[in-house]
Amino acid sequence: MVDDFLPPQVQLPPPKEFFFRNAMWLEKRTGVYYEYDIIKNVSKQEVYNNQPHFWEKLWKIRFLGCTDEQLSNQHSIFTKNLNDILVVGQQYSLKDHAKFYFDKEYQKNIIGLELYGLEFCGLFNPEFFETLHEPSVYQENPFEIILKNPPEKYPEYGSEEYLQLFKETAGNSVGMSGDKEIGAHFDYVTHIKVTRKPEEYPEWLKEAGKPSKAVRRNTPKSIGTSDYFNQKKSNNPFN
């Protein structure tokens, strides 16, 4: 038979943590398998959008916005100044897995989130976020200058200027959650330059843009290109 001449089929291993045959995810922290519909869901984040206790470190979560009433009615463990530092519709990185806290008074567990770059702000309420790839909330956010008096250097972590820059850049000022240092890959000076008119520049930036007043001790003579490359090093005014 023809089948006798075919090479043996190799059983390829399934992708990490996913099983095609029964469409299930393995939750490593609990060791429990969960159903996963490969038609409806694009990723693990899609599956757990309504189950924040499964949200993981480095996930991108989108801020949905909240009212003052919602903020006042949430548990006291959560930070209350969300609207002052976050932008509706923008995504932020989770610093760590979702955390559980037990409220002895009400005898119930509370789930809290830590955002990368905002660890000093405390815990955030997962009710105001989502993990869907396609946003459920669409809102235009025209650029607004929030850092009115930008310091000469990147603002100190946790300062008022730091929070103002964080909101002005929708969190981009802190860089990626995998960076060793917050803001290490953010070009702070260039951001100030391109987002403000010259007349809005802070004094330190205006001074940096002025031509140098330094005077050369010896003015080099004008030389041709061929002479520049061929003359002796001792006679080259650029060495």
**CA proximity to 127, closest of 147, 112, 105, 114:** 112
B/e letters for 205-227, b = 16+ CB within 10 Å, e = fewer, are beeeeeeeeeeeeeeeeeeeeee
Q: Is residue 137 part of a domain?
A: no
Residue that terminates a domain, selected from 130, 148, 168 = 130
- So what's the pLDDT on residue 12? 44
Residue 88 confidence (pLDDT) above 50: yes
Domain shared by 178 and 199, yes or no: yes
Query: What number of CA atoms fall less than 13 Å from residue 202's CA on the CB side?
Result: 14
Domain shared by 77 and 110, yes or no: yes
Residue 28, token pair as written in the block: 């490593």
Please, are residues 65 and 88 in contact by the beta-carbon 8 Å criterion?
yes
Q: Is residue 151 part of a domain?
A: no
Domain shared by 36 and 87, yes or no: no
Domain shared by 95 and 27, yes or no: no
Query: What number of CA atoms fall less than 13 Å from residue 230's CA on the CB side?
Result: 5
Q: Is residue 75 part of a domain?
A: yes
Residue 13 confidence (pLDDT) above 50: no
Sign of torsion over alpha carbons 130, 64, 159, 123? negative
pLDDT in tens, 214-237: 444 454 454 444 443 444 544 544
Write the Ramachandran bin of 45: left for phi over 0, alpha for psi from -120 to 50, otherwise beta.
alpha
Q: Report the number of distinct structural domains present in the chain.
A: 3
In order, the DSSP letters of 39-96 are: TT-SSHHHHTTT-GGG--TT-EEEE----HHHHHHS-TTB-S-HHHH--TT-EEEBSS
Domain shared by 38 and 76, yes or no: no
Q: Is residue 152 part of a domain?
A: no
- So what's the pLDDT on residue 214? 45
**CA proximity to 170, closest of 192, 142, 209, 133:** 142
Q: Is residue 61 part of a domain?
A: yes
Domain shared by 110 and 74, yes or no: yes
Mean pLDDT for the chain overall: 80
CB-based contacts of 154, cutoff 8 Å, min separation 6: 183, 186, 188
Residue 25 confidence (pLDDT) above 50: yes
Domain shared by 55 and 122, yes or no: yes
pLDDT in tens, 26-80: 666 677 776 666 666 667 888 889 999 999 999 999 999 999 999 999 999 999 9
Residue 174 confidence (pLDDT) above 60: yes
- So what's the pLDDT on residue 44? 81
Compare 22 and 6 and report the one with higher pLDDT. Answer: 22
- So what's the pLDDT on residue 175? 83
Residue 143 confidence (pLDDT) above 80: yes
Domain shared by 70 and 109, yes or no: yes
Q: Is residue 95 part of a domain?
A: yes
Q: Is residue 9 part of a domain?
A: no
Residue that terminates a domain, selected from 78, 111, 130 = 130
Cα distance between residue 110 and residue 76, in whole Å: 11
Domain shared by 111 and 58, yes or no: yes
Domain shared by 105 and 170, yes or no: no
Query: What number of CA atoms fall less than 13 Å from residue 124's CA on the CB side?
Result: 33
Q: What is the mean pLDDT of residues 101-121?
A: 92
- pLDDT tier for residue 104 given thresholds of 50, 70 and 90: confident
- So what's the pLDDT on residue 136? 85
- So what's the pLDDT on residue 220? 46
- So what's the pLDDT on residue 40? 63
Tokens 């003579």 sit at which residue? Answer: 221
pTM (2 d.p.): 0.72
- So what's the pLDDT on residue 2? 45
Domain shared by 95 and 33, yes or no: no
Please, are residues 82 and 128 in contact by the beta-carbon 8 Å criterion?
yes
Q: Is residue 200 part of a domain?
A: yes
Range of the domain at 123: 48-130
Domain shared by 39 and 54, yes or no: no
- So what's the pLDDT on residue 208? 75
Residue 9 confidence (pLDDT) above 50: no
